[in-house]
């Protein structure tokens, strides 16, 4: 089948009606279709979505539960988008970023975003699992370091480019500072955090990877943020993370800012971390920051 076109059977599964009902709606003109030279009906996803909009179809009823593992059966991108099959979409994103084509990877994310997959779901449910697969394959030698680097750079570029097309909430005056602790080079997660905050009306200052703690403290003093978002995944030691977070917390408490720490933090460390919040996901972060009061800040 031509990519992007759905069969009568696929549409009937989505709308949970018989194929004969789909044919009747098509003949009535309620649902647009394309006739192939062989006389078969094919449907564009956009037309199915328009139909659902027009007839107030309950889309939530159509969602299929996310699968635990990556889908073994290749499905069309359109079908995966419509059914919000995050497992299949992660697999597609994984393949795209490993090819190393930045433009295609951006176009893929943009396609999902344009089809109502939220930026939060893009990060938590598509980017993160794709990278978990990369990390797992790298650790057992199925992927080379060069492939992991190519995929990371391709994904990072496409995530940054996507930010240019994301619709933003108006600025509400909140200021956020985002960066990684010293010797931390995993910066895709904190880039996602920065972009989500930017889309949610925060003015963000992005400090990137591997920031010496003294410089982080200086930045807090200069920008007087409401929230400081810190990422740590592979620290030298737990002691090192605690020392750095203690120094940051000392400064954030003076200016009444919240210290938010994320990344791959083991449970034992979570208990000791001097953080105001340790979100388990981007979705969790958004709920937390939306609950914060924003007071007017005066820059030093
Ligand atoms: C890409 C990658 C790299 C790249 C990073 C490139 C870059 N520009 O960022 C490079 C090649 C640099 C790298 C290096 C290393 N890596 Co690496 N890497 C990964 C990989 C494959 C993906 C990480 C990623 O970007 N994921 C995508 C992002 C979006 O997900 P995320 O980081 O989890 O972030 C999400 C949340 O955690 C959260 N989040 C993250 N930060 C924050 C902060 C806040 C405030 C909030 C609210 C939320 C939040 O939001 C994100 C979206 O939900 C992981 C595998 C995996 N399972 O994740 C291994 C992995 C993290 N790396 C690992 C290792 C061992 C290393 C190295 C030590 C390898 C080596 N021997 O050199 C070095 C360490 C470098 C360093 N000191 O930082 C291990 C870590 C195991 C561990 N916990 O000890 C992993 C798990 C791989 C594995 N299976 O073993 N790595």
pLDDT, residue 76, reads 78
Q: Is the CB of 94 under 6 A from ligand 1?
A: no
Q: Is the CB of 230 under 6 A from ligand 1?
A: yes
Q: Which residue has the CA at smallest separation from atom 69 of ligand 1?
A: 234
Hey, which bits of 126-188 come out as E strands?
Answer: 175-180
> pTM for this structure?
0.82
The pair of three-digit structure tokens given for residue 262, joined into one six-digit string? 């994320």
CA of residue 183 to ligand 1 center, whole Å? 12
* CA–CA dist 202, 124 (Å, integer): 20
- Per DSSP bridges, beta strands 175-180 and 41-44 are unpaired
Per-residue pLDDT of the chain (300 residues; tens, 9 = 90+): 345 688 899 888 888 888 999 999 999 888 999 988 888 899 888 788 788 877 776 655 454 333 333 444 456 788 889 889 999 999 999 999 999 999 999 999 999 999 889 999 999 999 999 999 999 999 999 999 999 999 999 999 999 999 999 999 999 999 999 999 999 999 999 999 999 999 999 999 999 999 999 999 999 999 999 999 999 999 999 999 999 999 999 999 999 999 999 998 889 999 999 999 999 999 999 999 999 988 877 655
Which positions ≥6 away from 3 have C-beta within 8 Å?
A: 76, 77, 78
Closest ligand 1 atom number to CA of residue 178 = 45
* CA–CA dist 127, 92 (Å, integer): 10
CA of residue 203 to ligand 1 center, whole Å? 25
Task: List the domains of the chain with CATH numbers.
Answer: 5-60 (1.10.1660.10), 65-162 (1.10.1240), 175-290 (3.40.50.280)
CA of residue 37 to ligand 1 center, whole Å? 50
Q: Is the CB of 131 under 6 A from ligand 1?
A: yes
């Amino acid at each position: 089948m031509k990519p992007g076109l759905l069969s009568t059977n696929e549409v009937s599964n989505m709308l949970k009606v018989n194929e004969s009902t789909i044919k009747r709606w098509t003949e009535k003109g309620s649902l647009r279709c394309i006739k192939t030279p062989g006389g078969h009906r094919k449907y564009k996803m956009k037309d199915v979505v328009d139909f659902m909009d027009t007839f107030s179809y309950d889309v939530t009823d159509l969602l299929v539960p996310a699968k635990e593992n990556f889908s073994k059966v290749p499905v069309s991108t359109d079908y995966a988008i419509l059914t919000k099959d995050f497992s299949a979409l992660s697999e597609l994103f994984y393949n795209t970023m490993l090819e190393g084509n930045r433009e295609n990877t951006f176009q893929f994310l943009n396609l999902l975003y344009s089809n109502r997959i939220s930026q939060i779901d893009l990060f938590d449910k598509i980017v993160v699992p794709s990278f978990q697969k990369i990390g797992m394959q790298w650790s057992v030698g199925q992927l080379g370091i060069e492939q992991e680097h190519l995929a990371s750079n391709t994904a990072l570029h496409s995530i940054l480019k996507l930010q240019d097309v994301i619709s933003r909430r108006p600025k509400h005056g909140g200021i956020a500072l985002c960066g990684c602790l010293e010797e931390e080079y995993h910066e895709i997660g904190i880039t996602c955090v920065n972009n989500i905050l930017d889309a949610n009306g925060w003015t963000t200052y992005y400090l990137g990877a591997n920031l010496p703690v003294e410089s982080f403290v200086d930045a807090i003093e200069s920008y007087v943020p409401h929230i400081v978002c810190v990422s740590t995944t592979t620290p030298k030691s737990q002691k090192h993370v605690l020392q750095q977070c203690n120094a940051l917390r000392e400064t954030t408490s003076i200016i009444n800012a919240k210290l938010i720490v994320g990344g791959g933090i083991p449970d034992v460390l979570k208990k000791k971390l001097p953080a105001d919040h340790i979100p388990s996901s981007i979705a969790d972060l958004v709920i937390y920051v939306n609950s914060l009061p924003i007071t007017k800040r005066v820059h030093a």
